[in-house]
Amino acid sequence: MIGQFFRLTGRGLGDILIHPWAHLLTLVAVAMVSLLAGFVLLGLHNVNMQLMKSRGEVQFQIYWKTDTDPKIIESQWEAVGSMDHLVDIKGFTPQDALLELADTLGEAGDFGWLKETNPLPFSALASFAVPPSSQQEGWAAGILTKLKSMPGVEKVNYSPLQEDLAHGWKLISKAVIWPVIGFLGLVVAMVVGNTMRLSLLTRNDEIEILALVGAKPWFIRWPLITGGMALGLTGSMAGLGLLKLAQNTLADILNIPPLFIHINFMPMEYCIALVGGITLVAIVSSWVAVR
């Protein structure tokens, strides 16, 4: 029984060579759909990573006037550090800011000639944890007012939308992204299903003879289902490989000021879900076609 199962499986894989061009085109179509679905998952993963960095926090960028006494600024850094709900504060001297800018620009960031006449001000980046909902009303505005009122502070920047960004992204992903992935899965089902129907039409006489001599339905169907499974598995893995090549090429395309976003590849569970999902869709569509 087991030997017969393997023989039928091998026969199903060998039958792909009967119509090589049709199956090759199907393989390319499955790979392209897998690539598109992979791009959607890759974007979802990287956006989620960026949101996790600031979820539940509001950041304030504080700039002091260039003529402010450094000792006063250092005392104000300590004052900010003792404020309620503070998560982290990083102070930057003009020299620190110049070095940070030079590191960011790489080879183009040679600012040694500005050491004596550094135009950059003292600054600080303060991150505050969003308090419980009962304390949120007017909370960020109160901190903004308090920071702006400090002696020597020239301006304070912050994004009041950081807290709502994660929630808005969840709504977008539910409304747009997952329906798109579902549509791509439907395309895979149609492509593989039609290819299996083509195989059935070209082998109609053989299938009728097998049925007349008493061959069981699973004996007839399994080679065809195996072919669909092979197309789904091979095509999805090829699409995943193309996605990895694209990610390597585009990894640092957004790693520039002011974004500094490195595009990371999907985690292993996303890859398994992509390959397994498309293979499963191919198997189901093959089963529906051969019935």
Query: What single DSSP character describes residue 93?
Result: -
Residue ranges for the chain with pLDDT beneath 70? 1, 3-6, 8-9, 11-13, 15-16, 51-56, 101-117, 132-137, 159-174, 196, 199-207, 210, 256-260, 290-291
What is the CATH code for 56-161?
A: 3.30.70.2190
Nearest to 128 by CA among 89, 92, 76: 89
User: What was the pLDDT predicted at 134?
Assistant: 47
User: What was the pLDDT predicted at 225?
Assistant: 79
Q: Please, how many CA atoms are within 13 Å of residue 270, restricted to the half-sphere of its CB? A: 20
User: What was the pLDDT predicted at 29?
Assistant: 84
Q: For residues 155 and 33, give the distance between their C-alpha atoms in angstroms, rounded to a whole number.
A: 49
User: What was the pLDDT predicted at 85?
Assistant: 81
Asked if residue 51 lies in contact with residue 166, where contact means CB atoms within 8 angstroms, the answer is yes
Q: For residues 59 and 124, give the distance between their C-alpha atoms in angstroms, rounded to a whole number.
A: 10
Q: 163 Cβ partners below 8 Å, 6+ apart?
A: 56, 58, 130
Can you give the residue ranges of every domain in the chain? 2-52+164-290, 56-161
Nearest to 77 by CA among 147, 154, 158: 147
What is the SS3 assignment for 97-145? HHHHHHHHHHHHCCCHHHCCCCCCCCEEEEEEECCCHHHCCCHHHHHHH
Q: For residues 8 and 221, give the distance between their C-alpha atoms in angstroms, rounded to a whole number.
A: 10
Q: For residues 114 and 155, give the distance between their C-alpha atoms in angstroms, rounded to a whole number.
A: 23
User: What was the pLDDT predicted at 244?
Assistant: 94
Q: Give the burial class of 196: count Cβ atoms within 10 A of its Cβ; 0-12 exposed, 13-18 middle, 19 or more buried.
A: buried
Rg of the chain, C-alpha, whole Å: 30
Q: For residues 14 and 105, give the distance between their C-alpha atoms in angstroms, rounded to a whole number.
A: 56
Global model pTM greater than 0.85:
no
